[in-house]
Amino acid sequence: MNAKPPGDNDAEGQKPGPFVDPDEPTRMVTPEMRPADASDSSRTSGATSGTATGTGTFGDLEKLADGPVQVLQEGDTLKERFVLEARLGTGGMGTVYKALDLRKQEAEDRNPYIAVKILNEDFRAHPESLRTLQRESKKAQSLAHPSIVTVYDFDRDGTSIYMTMEYLEGKPLDKITKSGGFKGLPLDQALEIIQDVGAALAFAHKQGIVHCDFKPGNIFITDTGPAKVIDFGIARAVKLGDDPQADATVFDAGSLGALTPAYASPEMLEDEEPDPRDDVYALACISYELISGRHPFGRMPATEARDNALVPKQPPELNRRQWKALAAGLAFDRGKRIADVETFVSELSAGGENRRALRLVAAVAGVAILAGGGFYFSTNETEEAASSGSGIVAQSDSGNETPGAASQPGTLAPAEVAPEPADPAPEASAEAVSPEPEVTVQGEADAAPEVTQEPERVQEALIPPVRFTAEDIDELVRRASCADIRHEIEGGSISVTGYSGSMAEINLLRDEIGNLSGVENTRFSVGLLDGALCAPLEVFTPYVRKNREENTGLTIRTRNEDGVYVENESLIVDMKLPGYESYVYVDYYSIDGGVLHILPNEAYPENLGSADLDVTLGEDDSVRSWTIAAPFGTELVVVLTSPEPLFGVQREEVEFASSYLPDLRARLDELARGADANRLSADIFFITTTPAR
């Protein structure tokens, strides 16, 4: 969002504020925003820049190499918030811990744990790589999908650089594929995993993001839900390391590059620009491995397999159409490879035993991307939930069967690939969490006979029908984190609207509401938020709920009732203040992680508003006004009222939300313990901005 300055002779630019005369129409405009100086990485241009992630990692990165080395271990705390409880694994980028989020614990969150990846010391010498990684992590935050691990934040504590992510229970796929005696999964179960991760890749490709390091170790098999893809947004093609056959990511902190030779396409190995077909090749390799129990080229890099004219054997489980699709996905020439993941998964699933009909791939078609945000819309609750469990039946990691001896890669015949050599112990998972669940080997034991029992018959007239209540829906809605969701009930029909930062939670809420007793139909229209808005929502949600439940009268809306604005269009905001005098704060949170303090600011430091006052911001563009500019997406406007001034000094008009919100939260907590706590209230409004056509 850009600010328009007043004319040189415009005396109205010196007005003390919108609350001087309640009888006069009020107006509010932003001060002119200054773009960040390229030489000063500690500043941000807020809504005018799309490079920040709102994590505060920018600033003095060059000094990291000179700072003392911080050796973190279990029991330490990052940012006075994340308690490192257990080390989950170590990889090329760093070490991952299971961590307790003290704020979630304080809020009695049902799942207070997250995963924290602490980057290794190599990054200290490469501040520019850190900035690039921060921008790439911002991309990962935008990938809200049931089969993509959620990335929350990228930040630092002293000289320790870390990423926070969704905490999962289960194990990485390579723990299954590398277990002793693994000979492949039953076809229907292999296809379930392929469909889950294929939907994730397809979703990312629609956002212009290629994974570039897709491998079994970056697929996580959860205990209760779909398979998930991890490490989006950090992998880039670079030259190979000294060991081209090592089944571990080759990662260089200086060039921020990552790839795994056994699953990288020939084009990636030859340093060509990333393309979605690179992920198709990797998915085809993994698919072959899941179905047959072995890598199609004995883990030989694609360039060597191509030069040796290797051709994998057709797995007997596949029909002709399925094999044609798998072979096309494994094509060494990008131009001959299947062009997109959807086509690959659809063709590979054709004629198989699995009948889910690309459940999650189909779910992608129900997501209309709105200018960097997303939108889920459904009017029929009969389809299968995209967040249901995968029901994987895999071989046990405790199996003691060893694979047969394998030929050396150089002895493979051109028309056939022999079984690959035994693999070394797999690298610890970055997202693995709990002890591995008990699994079943196909054919290990006969299924127990199904026992049926005739239900006891009762007189239906004696049992009154159970019907949902508004409280039932309120309880479900309150469980959603990073969300602002409302509902209306009319008979047996429920209308649900709002926004959420998680597609998985959107799907879960839709299914839970649809399954309530007495629900006849639902209209479900919930927008998908950028992850940068989750932190402010977490702070303001308690006060927004209080405002709505107590009907204080505080509201904020934009002149465009649908909340949609086009580039260069002026933004005008209307507010109704509550029925008591209060200090008023209006902020604009953008998807680049910045916060613009609209009121108060240097131009309008006075922000004490009288009861029931109507206030308009940005209407008179002869003073100053907002115009919509990049980055585009769904962003957040907040009004907060307080019985006292929040801060003793005027804050910078544009700053990182990650710097502002902790101070705001601490001050609100202090005021909430005071005698006038009932005058703390908030309302929010989302706008969606789009580029001009």
DSSP-assigned beta bridge partners for residue 634: 688
Asked whether 285 and 248 are in contact (CB, 8 A), the reply is no
551: region left, alpha or beta (phi > 0 left; psi from -120 to 50 alpha): left
Nearest Cα neighbor of 609 from 636, 637, 587, 576 is: 576
Active site residue 213: yes
Q: Which residue blocks in 530-628 are alpha helix, DSSP H?
A: 534-550
* 52 and 593 Cβ atoms separated by less than 8 Å: yes
Residues 56 and 656: beta-carbon distance below 8 Å: yes
Distance set, CA 613 to CA 92, 186, 555 (Å): 58, 67, 11
Q: Is 228 annotated as a binding residue?
A: no
Number of neighbouring beta carbons within 10 Å of residue 42: 12
Q: To which H or E segment does residue 280 belong? A: helix 276-292
Copy the structure tokens of residue 458: 């009762």
CA proximity to 373, closest of 635, 665, 679, 675: 635
Using only the alpha carbons of the chain, give its radius of gyration. 28
Give the whole-angstrom CA distance, residue 216 versus residue 285: 10
Residue given tokens 């932190």 in the structure block: 535
542 phi/psi in degrees, rounded to 5: -60, -35
With tokens 């998964």, the residue in question is: 345
**Strand, coil or helix: what is 360?**
helix
**Which residues are paired to 596 by β-bridges?**
588, 654
How many Å apart are CA 176 and CA 652, to the nearest integer?
A: 52
Q: Rounded CA gap, 593 and 335, in Å?
A: 39
Tokens of 380: 């029929």
Q: Which of 213, 231, 275, 587 is catalytic?
A: 213
Q: Give the whole-angstrom CA distance, residue 669 versus residue 667.
A: 5
**Nearest CA among 666, 662, 659 for reference residue 44:** 659
Tokens 């081209």 -> residue: 244
d(CA 562, CA 483): 19
User: Which residue type is seen at 171?
Assistant: K
Q: State the helix-helix crossing angle for 187-206 and 276-292, rounded to 10 degrees.
A: 170
- CB-count burial class (<10 Å; 0-12, 13-18, 19+) for 116: buried
Rounded to 10 degrees, the C-alpha dihedral 624/625/631/634 comes to: 140
Secondary structure of 608-624 in the HEC alphabet? EECCCCEEEECCCCCCC
Are the C-beta atoms of residues 256 and 120 closer than 8 Å to each other? no
Asked if residues 150 and 481 have their Cβ atoms less than 8 Å apart, the reply is no
Residue 326: DSSP 8-state: H
Q: Which residues, in sequence order, are CB contacts of 106 under 8 Å at separation 6+?
A: none
Per the annotation, where are the binding residues for ATP?
117
Q: Which residues are catalytic?
A: 213
- Binding site feature residues: 117
